[in-house]
Amino acid sequence: MKKSWLRLIGLSTIVTMLTGCDPLLVLDPKGPQAQVQAKDIMLSIGIMSFIVLIVFVLLAYMLVKFRASKQSPDYKPPHIKGSTKVEIICVGIPVLIVAYLSFISVESNYKVESTPEKYKQEEPLIIYASTSNWKWHFSYPEEDIETVNYLYIPAERPIEFKLYSYGPITSFWIPQLGGQKYAMADMVNTLHLAADLPGEYMGRNANFNGKGFAENTFNVTAVTQDEFADWVKEVKATAEPLTEEKFNTLLEPGHVGQSTYTGTHLTFLPAPEGENGGHQHGTSHTKDHASQQNDH
């Protein structure tokens, strides 16, 4: 049938465009985790195209061969129950494909859920990334600094993002460094990322969280490890300290620009982990603190 061929052409265009000159962000990885994911995506596109092709060819064959207009008027189609042989093939091959993809999926999952193999020997940099409507707070506890709406990270060093949220569920996503994970109010999620190269990357919240969602983005700048150390020094020398009052005003809903502080909010408002975790259902002082804030 004519249309099936059109589809085929369409599909091959997709594949060529995906691998083509102007790469789509996700398929243009700049870090080991995003590389694993891009590889999985391309592999699955390949295998799936094969399946689509089989279905299209079979459909085209049936429609061309068995249409009534090409048959004698007295042809009576037979009664065919089915065939074990055909069904073994129709079940068996998909089972093999799914088994193979499952294997790849599980393996990749463990990879993206841990420190990238490539940078295992490096000490990971820990950054707490929290959201409030509609902004991002990045705390560097070891460096004792905090930024709003932008990230500075060293390249070629693994980074452990600790994600949580003040309010609605958000999702931390830097497409070129690796896939996203949720930031929620009552627990801390860990996301392992790393950048292979210095550069500028787009980051955003990917999970809908109300009116300001579209602009809930942040810039990521990956620099060499020396430049990162310099940047930390400079921030410490020049930035204002982050006071509790200042942080409370930042938590109020709205958009703010980028800003930098010395000190982190973790000292006076710890992340919901360990004894401060929402799942502990405890009565720790921080929780009372948090609920008082919601009352304002």
Interface of this chain with other proteins, residues 29 to 48, rule: CB under 8 A: 34, 36-38, 40-41, 44-45, 48
Q: Which helix (H) or strand (E) holds 261?
A: strand 259-262
Yes or no: say if 34 and 178 are a contact pair by the CB < 8 Å rule.
yes
Largest CA distance in the chain: 93
- Dihedral, CA of residue 245, residue 182, residue 205 and residue 209, to nearest 10: -70
DSSP states of 144-170 as a string? Answer: TEEEESEEEEETTS-EEEEEEEESS-E
88 touches other proteins by CB under 8 A: no
Among 9, 15, 91, 256, binds other proteins (CB under 8 A): 91
Which residues are CB-neighbours of 28 under 8 A, at least 6 positions away?
38, 176
Q: Is 257 in the site for other proteins (CB under 8 A)?
A: no
- Residue 288 CB, nearest distance to other proteins (Å)? 9
Is residue 274 involved in binding other proteins (CB under 8 A)?
no
Among 129, 153, 184, 242, binds other proteins (CB under 8 A): 184
Question: Which one among 12, 15, 16, 63 touches other proteins, defined by CB under 8 A?
Answer: 63
What span, in angstroms and rounded, lies between the C-alpha atoms of 90 and 19?
30
Distance CA 118, CA 123 (A): 12
Contact 160, 127 (CB under 8 A): yes
Candidate ranges 112-120, 136-144, 148-156, 258-266; the one touching other proteins (CB under 8 A): 112-120
Smallest distance from the beta carbon of 199 to other proteins, in angstroms? 15
Structure tokens at 67: 């249409």
* Interface residue with other proteins, options 9, 12, 16, 87 (CB under 8 A): 87
152 to 171, contacts with other proteins by CB under 8 A? 163, 166-169, 171
C-alpha span between 259 and 146 (Å, rounded) = 9
Interaction with other proteins in 206-245: which residues (CB under 8 A)? Answer: 206-214
**Number of CB atoms found within 10 A of residue 126's CB:** 15
* Nearest distance from C-beta of residue 200 to other proteins, angstroms: 12
Binds other proteins by CB under 8 A, chosen from 30, 31, 111, 158: 111
Q: Is 267 in the site for other proteins (CB under 8 A)?
A: no
User: Do 151 and 218 meet the contact criterion of CB atoms below 8 Å apart?
Assistant: yes
Task: Candidates 35, 108, 221, 262: give the one binding other proteins (CB under 8 A).
Answer: 108
Nearer to other proteins, 139 or 180 (CB): 180
Please list, in sequence order, all residues whose beta carbon lies within 8 angstroms of the beta carbon of residue 8, skipping any fewer than 6 positions away.
53, 56
Instruction: Give the total of residues touching other proteins (CB under 8 A).
Output: 100
In the complex with other proteins, which residue's Cβ is closer, 48 or 197? Answer: 48
- 68 lies in the site for other proteins, by CB under 8 A: yes
